[in-house]
Amino acid sequence: MSKARQYAYVITQVSARKGVLIPKSLFLSLSEAGSLDELVSRLRDTRYAVELSELTPPITADKLEEAFMKSYARDVADALKHAPSKAKTFLEVLTRRFLYDNLKIVLKSKISKISAEEARSRLFNVEKLSPRAWNLTLRALEAENVEKALSIFSEIEEIEEAGSYAYELFKKFGLVAVIDAAIDKQFYLRLWKAYDKLDKLDKNKALRFLGFETDIYNLMTILRGSVWNIDVQVIRELLLQKFYELKDKEVEALLMEVKADKIVEKLASTRYRKFFDVNKPPEEAIREAEKKVRREEVLLANKAFIEPRFHFGTIMAYLKLKEIEVRNLIAASQGVEKGLSPQVIQENMTL
């Protein structure tokens, strides 16, 4: 069976759903809502109408997040159900990013002695996406220390391994700042392992997304590490030994620089120069680069829907766009609940 025929049903499905994703204009409108009830009203003509109609008053950001994540979980389940078997493992790992984000929150809350209640408010509600992971995450939040939290996560091997790796680096170097990067590294290593099992044609489509994210991860890790005065030995440990459009010599040149502003200057000579503003202080350059990268991910995903689109990359693209949409909706609902200004809310969204 040809690739196009293998993917025909699921591509038709995600293409239709892509057509009803929330446009930028509606996200801007949501950020301007005066209350959560008003926000819900503005979503009544979207695909979230059914989930929102099931909510009981009073409406809260937590209830809305649960509804948004329920929609995401349903789309993930549908994509996995109809995707060819060799592609499923990669897609499964790809859609676990929320689980890895929650792991970061659990570890940092234990290390920094943040209460379980406060940390709980920062979690992504993955109950519908992965009931077992959600249950374990809530239990881990209540654990006495990091070691006991990791013991709870042992029921999910990849999460426990990522957590243990991050915690070992923290103990070795005493830097909370390594937690996020260490867990992200483990996530990407899992993705690359799953990538190796894809068919050749699927690899070609997946590489555009995975290669880009890997290069950006490495560049941002080097730059953040310099800003935070992290020893180059630690930065090297955190880097992925995979490169897409980066070259070894470019990475080595960046690692040899001591000052963050000099790193930004060198980044301007790489293929990714458009993301880094040499005229901004390094901290601001990082914040701007993060936003530009997220927008670039949206552009890459949208390009996958240009004909011909009956290939693996289109599924990846839709799931990426859906994830970004859900993160935007969560940012909007939390911002409105807290009474943040539209401008601040929009800063927390990918538009």
Indicate the pLDDT class of residue 264, thresholds 50, 70 and 90: very high
The per-residue pLDDT for 342 is 99
The per-residue pLDDT for 97 is 98
Q: Which two tokens stand for residue 107?
A: 């570890």
pLDDT cut 70: percent of the chain above it: 99
For each of the domains in the chain, give its residue range(s) and CATH number, in order of start.
Answer: 1-82+320-351 (1.10.132.50)
Average pLDDT over residues 295-307: 93
pTM score, two decimals?
0.95
- 284: CB partners within 8 A, 6+ apart: 277
pLDDT at 7 over 90: no
The per-residue pLDDT for 5 is 77
pLDDT at 1 over 60: no
37-55 confidence digits (pLDDT tens): 999 999 999 999 999 999 9
151-170 confidence digits (pLDDT tens): 999 999 999 999 999 999 99
Average pLDDT over residues 308-319: 90
Indicate the pLDDT class of residue 269, thresholds 50, 70 and 90: confident
The per-residue pLDDT for 85 is 86
HEC string of the chain equals CCHHHHHHHHHHHHHHHHCCCCCHHHHHHHHCCCCHHHHHHHCCCCCCHHHHHCCCCCCCHHHHHHHHHHHHHHHHHHHHHHCCHHHHHHHHHHCCHHHHHHHHHHHHHHHCCCCHHHHHCCCCCCCCCCHHHHHHHHHHHCCCCHHHHHHHHCCCHHHHHHHHHHHHHHHHHCCCCHHHHHHHHHHHHHHHHHHCCCCHHHHHHHHHHHHHHHHHHHHHHHHHHHHCCCCHHHHHHHCCCCCCCCCHHHHHHHHHCCCHHHHHHHHCCCCCHHHCCCCCCHHHHHHHHHHHHHHHHHHHHHHCCCCCCCCHHHHHHHHHHHHHHHHHHHHHHHHHHHCCCHHHHHHCCCC
Rounded to the nearest integer, the mean pLDDT of the chain is 95
pLDDT at 3 over 70: no
CA distance 308 to 314: 10
The per-residue pLDDT for 241 is 96
Residue 279 CB-density burial (10 A; 0-12 exposed, 13-18 middle, 19+ buried): exposed
Average pLDDT over residues 283-292: 96
pLDDT at 4 over 70: no
pLDDT at 131 over 60: yes
Average pLDDT over residues 332-348: 98
The per-residue pLDDT for 325 is 99
pLDDT at 26 over 80: yes
Indicate the pLDDT class of residue 308, thresholds 50, 70 and 90: confident
pLDDT at 66 over 70: yes
The per-residue pLDDT for 2 is 65
Residue count of the chain? 351
pLDDT at 229 over 60: yes
User: Are the C-beta atoms of 316 and 209 separated by less than 8 Å?
Assistant: yes
pLDDT at 68 over 60: yes
pLDDT at 253 over 80: yes
The per-residue pLDDT for 284 is 95
pLDDT at 9 over 80: yes
